[in-house]
A and B are shown apart, each in its own frame.
Chain A
Amino acid sequence: MSFNNLDTLYRQVIMDHYKNPRNKGSIEGEHMAIDMNNPTCGDRIQLQLQLEDGVVNEAKFDGEGCSISLSSASMMTEAVKGKTVEEALEMSKLFSAMMQGEDVDPEQFALEDIEALQGVSQFPARIKCATLSWKAMEQGVEESEEA
Chain B
Amino acid sequence: MDVLAVREAFPILHQEVNGHPLVYLDSSATSQTPKSVIDKIDDYYKRYNSNVHRGVHTLGAVATDEYEGAREKVRSFINASNTKEIVFNRGTTTGINTVAQSYGMDNVAPGDEIVITEMEHHSNLIPWQQLAKRKNATLKYIPMQEDGTLSMSDVRDTISDRTKIVAVSHVSNVLGTINPVKEIAAAAHEKGAVIVVDGAQSAPHIKIDVQDLDCDFYAFSAHKMCGPTGIGVLYGKKDLLDNMEPVEFGGEMIDFVSLYDSTWKELPWKFEGGTPIIAGAIGLGAAIDYLESVGMEEIEKHEEELISYALQKMDDMDGVTVYGPRERAGLVTFNVDGVHPHDLATVLDTEGIAVRAGHHCAQPLMKWLGVNATARASFYLYNTTDEIDRFVEGLQKTKEYFGDVI
Listed in ascending order, the chain A residues whose CB lies under 8 Å from chain B are 1, 3, 5-6, 9-10, 12, 15, 18-19, 40-44, 64-68, 123, 125-126, 129
B340 sits at the interface (CB 8 A): yes
**Pair B358/A5 contact, Cβ less than 8 Å:** no
Knowing A1-B397, A40-B358 touch, does A125 contact B346 (C-beta < 8 A)?
yes
**Pair A42/B347 contact, Cβ less than 8 Å:** no
**Pair A44/B372 contact, Cβ less than 8 Å:** yes
**Pair A12/B351 contact, Cβ less than 8 Å:** no
Q: Which chain B residues numbered 388 to 406 have a C-beta less than 8 Å away from chain A?
A: 397, 401-402, 405-406
CB distance from A50 to the nearest CB of B (A): 27
**Pair A126/B397 contact, Cβ less than 8 Å:** no
Q: Which residues of chain A are within 8 angstroms of B358 by Cβ–Cβ distance?
A: 40-42
B25 sits at the interface (CB 8 A): no
**Pair A123/B401 contact, Cβ less than 8 Å:** no
**Pair B401/A6 contact, Cβ less than 8 Å:** yes
Q: Which residues of chain A are within 8 angstroms of B18 by Cβ–Cβ distance?
A: 5
- CA A4 – CA B179 in complex, angstroms? 44
Count contacts between A and B, CB distance < 8 Å: 56
Task: Identify which of A1, A64, A67 contacts B343 (C-beta below 8 A).
Answer: A67
Listed in ascending order, the chain B residues whose CB lies under 8 Å from chain A are 18, 340-343, 346-347, 350-351, 357-359, 363, 366, 372-373, 397, 401-402, 405-406
- CA A31 – CA B105 in complex, angstroms? 45
**Pair B363/A42 contact, Cβ less than 8 Å:** yes
- CA A126 – CA B18 in complex, angstroms? 16
**Pair A64/B346 contact, Cβ less than 8 Å:** no
Knowing A3-B401, A42-B358 touch, does A67 contact B340 (C-beta < 8 A)?
yes
**Pair A42/B405 contact, Cβ less than 8 Å:** no
- CA A136 – CA B151 in complex, angstroms? 43
CB distance from A35 to the nearest CB of B (A): 14
Closest to A14 in B: B405
**Pair A15/B406 contact, Cβ less than 8 Å:** yes
- CA A1 – CA B346 in complex, angstroms? 16
Task: Identify which of A1, A67, A68, A126 contacts B351 (C-beta below 8 A).
Answer: A1
Q: Which residues of chain A are within 8 angstroms of B342 by Cβ–Cβ distance?
A: 41, 43, 65-66, 68, 126, 129
CB distance from A17 to the nearest CB of B (A): 12
Q: Which residues of chain B are within 8 angstroms of A125 by Cβ–Cβ distance?
A: 346
- CA A137 – CA B119 in complex, angstroms? 34
**Pair A41/B359 contact, Cβ less than 8 Å:** yes
Q: Which residues of chain B are within 8 angstroms of A5 by Cβ–Cβ distance?
A: 18, 350
